[in-house]
Amino acid sequence: MSDLHLKTLSEIRGLLAERRVSAEEATKACLERIEATEPTIQALLHVSAETALAEARALDAAGPGPERPLWGVPLTVKDCLTAKGLPATAGSRILENFVPFYDATAVARLKAAGAVILGKSNMDEFAMGSSTENSAFHPTRNPWDPERVPGGSSGGSAAAVAACQGFGALGTDTGGSIRQPASFCGIVGLKPTYGRVSRYGLIAYGSSLDQIGPMTRTVEDAARLLQVMAGHDTRDSTSVDEPVPDYLASLSARSDLKGLTIGLPEEYWGEGVDPEVAECCRAAVAQAESLGARIVPVPLKLSEYAVAVYYVIATAEASSNLARFDGVRYGHRDKQAQDLTEMYTRSRTQGFGDEVQRRIILGTYVLSAGYYDAYYRKAAQVRALLRRDFDAAFESCDLIAGPVCPTTAFRVGQMTSDPLQMYLMDIFTISANLAGIPGLSLPCGLGRDSGMPVGLQLMARPFAEDVLLSAANVLERALPKLPQPGGLI
């Protein structure tokens, strides 16, 4: 097998641009890696080998050019994003046979930049979960240790990148679903500012929370993918018409962290964080300080309410968004129903898994006439206050740092019987979605007890992805590089 799959996205891009490697060779290397590793980790739901190779050959015939900055680079895409001609199940039986006829804007922009789409990655059903065990088809395993989960809901994308099945992947983040699996799998995961990347073509979970972002092996690779995807889209009413900086230029413009202030919220560093996680993250913060950053405490006093607020707002939006899957227009339809009401009931019961049904019921409850004011309205008010909390914190710092997750990757089956414990895995990531700010997970070491990756979370002001990426890039170069995952050897 070729070792091309071990290259970073930036490295393979350079080889492709110089014609030292063909697009077909890069694609074949990834497909061979998928064949070798999929029996163990099961990161993908659909592999489009023939289509990917045909696209690669067409790219080779046309040749590279500056208008195609990702020419010939093979990537994978989370299965809640539409890609023309490829299944889009969102990890659910209710969409098992759905094949969209159009590309999501993020996918279309990657294709226009010359990327090759290898296939669709596994996920928790409709992005509802933190372990990818809620997929209706099969769980995904962590490449570092197949007995552990890769995180979720973008666990398939994270595992695919960590296992070198492709040079990057797209994930989605509603409450931490890019950053948490990135932390568990030892890769970089970026949730952009809400509105920075078009949501057109995303099968929605929580419309005011969902955001598409890159998952890669380096910060530079994440910057390259974001550069292509970011920007206003008239087809998405939540897309913001904000200028897109030159993210790659921002990386090269910074060689240290002098002039940056990093805030440490006490609420992210206290009780409940595993000692091995705290140890790695504190070492990374100390490294940032040695690079010139000023470290200050910042209060985020409303963070303790973030999980409760999130699960009111997210489930309410989910109950509305998932009402369209009713067995009428597309998706699973029960064949035995005798009338319309029975068809709705049976189709949705058969098509949705337990966690999705649980969240639909919760969302319907908090939106109901007798409880809307007590739950949904109050959660929306606290969300606004939480956003103000972040605005106040950023008056005294440029970035906020803390652990991505209280623990390293837990074992398969460890939390499936306790949904509340699973929900708390996103306790440090949820706030960024509620506030709409960008957040990034940066690998900062291996836990001394578990030997599993630990991620440091950095958050920035809205639309300050250039500051976030440039600082993470400097810190990444100074931190010890993680070895290749050992779970596949």
Cβ contact 40:65 at 8 Å:
no
What's the rounded Cα separation, in Å, for the pair 357 and 346?
13
CA angle 38/39/40 to nearest 5° reads 85
Question: CB neighbours of 83 closer than 8 A, spacing ≥ 6?
Answer: 77, 100, 103, 104, 107, 117, 120
Given the residues 121, 153, 154, 183, select the one marked as catalytic: 153
**Is position 78 annotated as part of the catalytic site?**
yes
- Classify strands 439-446 and 453-460 as parallel, antiparallel or unpaired: antiparallel
Q: Which of 7, 28, 48, 78 is catalytic?
A: 78
- Catalytic residue from among 121, 154, 157, 177: 177
- What are the residues facing 446 on neighbouring strands? 453
**How far apart, in Å, are the Cα atoms of 163 and each of 47, 73, 185, 325, 332?**
15, 16, 9, 34, 33
Cis-peptide, bond into residue 153, ω within 30° of zero? yes
Cβ-in-10-Å burial (0-12, 13-18, 19+) of 84 comes to middle
**Residues noted as catalytic:** 78, 153, 177
